[in-house]
Amino acid sequence: MKKPIIAVDMDDTICHLVKRAIYHNNLNFPTHPLRYEDMIHWDTSHLRHPESTHDVFYGRPGLFEELELYDEYVVDEMRKLNDAYDVIVVTAAEPRTVVEKWNWLQQHMPFITAEQFITCKRKNLLAFDLLIDDGAHNLIPAHEDGKKVICIPHPWNIQERERYNFPLMSSWKEAKAYIDEVLQVVGV
């Protein structure tokens, strides 16, 4: 029997990118401090210092290798999911960040193989049964295509998650059991 495919985003889903980018932004541009709670849209250029472009904000060399785990449960729960399902980690990446993201995964989740690591910005083009992501631009097309989704709640997706009433997962604690329920899988 074919295992369901679970596509899991990286940034701000299994690790904290925005919080770490804010930390470096606030060190480098103290006159324009940012707060996580203020990041209510994808475009935050109006909040950042003029010199803190998208490439500066997310482009610090080594940034993607120093990200913190989403929470204390994420590694164990990802291992459980990997044992029970066909898990793919699907992350949007610039060519210069692919190696950093792979290195992060291998440091924290070495059970994820190269065959399970996909860099892709248009995630809705992939075949999966469930998408776990924080980006409404990924969740909405998947949802509209009839696929199951779980939203990781952050300030930048509050409007869309209220509009679409996405199932939420704010912690990875007991994520496998929750995902079994979302997929209505028994005995996996």
Residues 51-80 as b/e (b if ≥16 CB within 10 A, e otherwise) read: ebeeebbbeeeebbeebebbeeebbebbbb
Residue 110 burial (C-beta neighbours within 10 Å; 0-12, 13-18, 19+)? exposed
The reply to whether 145 belongs to the active site is: no
Residues of the chain by 3-state class (helix, strand, coil), percent to 5: 45, 15, 45
The reply to whether 55 belongs to the active site is: no
Distance CA 140, CA 3 (A): 24
Active site residues: 9, 11
